[in-house]
Amino acid sequence: MANLINKKIQDTYKDLLTINSGTDNQGIESTLKTVSDGEGVETAIQLSTTHLKIPSGKTLEIAGTLTSVDATLTGNLAVGDDLSVTDLIAGARIDVSGSILSGTNIQSGGKLIATTDVEAQGVVKSGSAEFGNGYGSTGVTIESDGDIKADGALTLGGSISSSQGLTALSATIGGGYGNSGATIASTGLIRTNSNIEVDGTLEVDGISTLTGEVKIGGGFGSTGTTITTSGDINTNGGLLVNAGGTVANFSVGNDLNVTGDTDIAGSLDVGGGFGGSGGGLTVSSGGSITMDGSITATKISLSLGEVSTGASNSPKVKVDDETKVKLTLVDSSDDDKDVFEIKNTGETTIKDNAGDTKLTVKSTGTVKYKANTTTELNAITGTSGEIAYDSTVGAFKVWAP
């Protein structure tokens, strides 16, 4: 190392360092003073009784080892090479273009920005972390509350456990659908190459399309229900529609075979229903049967009911009880009037829809005609063979040929 022995001051004063700030012989003080050479050229160092400062625009380069017992960094620290720390570094911001190797924790109240990899053998603690450009700009963000948000795919070799739920545009499980796995699309569609097993309730708001056979409970034949691929519903129990709930429609595209009782709370349409396309039959919730076609049966039993057409003014055949049958017509007031009645004794009565009796056949075989006066009979234009009773003379009038 060069020294100043046997050298003149005039030949060496530029090589001397001083903190002279304009006043001679002050020495080191509490305020920072710039270290300069004997010619007044400032160095990159400022000194005081408590501080050593590298001013802004200057650089501190350490080629060897920097050992610190307790150090506080109040400004920015730029490291162009490796920085090895055995204790805590606390600062507002640390920009590193190389690697950071730490045997303990790295803690930062601000951002930790690295242009290359960050490797930690211990714990890295941060308010949040961004990878790439962060979520929303083709990257990943881990928020301080634990949420992980990513613009790309999340691939895990193990399982996922979450107590707060998992939100993703889509999810691929195993090899994904079509490759021995399952896929959940962004629309909510679930596709799987294997079975879906549910111990609780499976609720589906939209349409469920099942291409295979569906078994409920133990399946048909084992105290359950089976829906075949052709649409047949086979069940060991009852089929209840509108029982304790609300069912808008129950449609069967093929034959419905029922071996036991069938209770229907609403109406029943067969074919297109009464008045529908192609014709059909409708059984209303009140028990009325209306049809576009005819009934072919070996026997029809009515319990004190009636038979009529679908017209509002339809004549009716009424079975009031086991003793008689009536035929009714609608009068001008839309009321049913008996026009024909026959009893099990053989007695038969014929009336008009005004209630006027025209003829009565007694159970004894006698016939009673309506009584008309001579004047009333003369006003009638009868035809050959007709007969009427003249109450004025007490005799029958017969119209001759």
Task: Take residue 25 and report the two structure tokens written for it.
Answer: 């012989």
The dihedrals phi and psi of 104, each to the nearest 5 degrees, come to: -125, -155
Phi-psi region of 86 (alpha: psi -120 to 50; beta: other; left: phi over 0): alpha
Stated pTM of the model: 0.33
Largest CA distance in the chain: 185
Which of 13-27, 82-96, 195-209, 342-356 has the lowest average pLDDT?
A: 82-96
Distance CA 94, CA 124 (A): 14
Q: Is the pLDDT of residue 254 over 50?
A: yes
> Nearest Cα to 36, choosing from 9, 18, 21?
18
pLDDT at residue 327 in the model: 84
Distance CA 348, CA 362 (A): 7
Which of 125-139, 356-370, 372-386 has the lowest average pLDDT?
A: 125-139
pLDDT bin (cut points 50, 70, 90) of residue 347 is very high
DSSP letters of 271-330? ET-TTSTT-EEEE-TTS-EEESS----S----SS-EEE-SSTT--EEEEEETTEEEEEEE
Distance CA 28, CA 44 (A): 17
Contact 108, 89 (CB under 8 A): no
Average pLDDT over residues 378-393: 91
Provide the residue ranges of all domains of the chain, joining segments of one domain with +: 9-56, 71-136
Average pLDDT over residues 105-126: 66
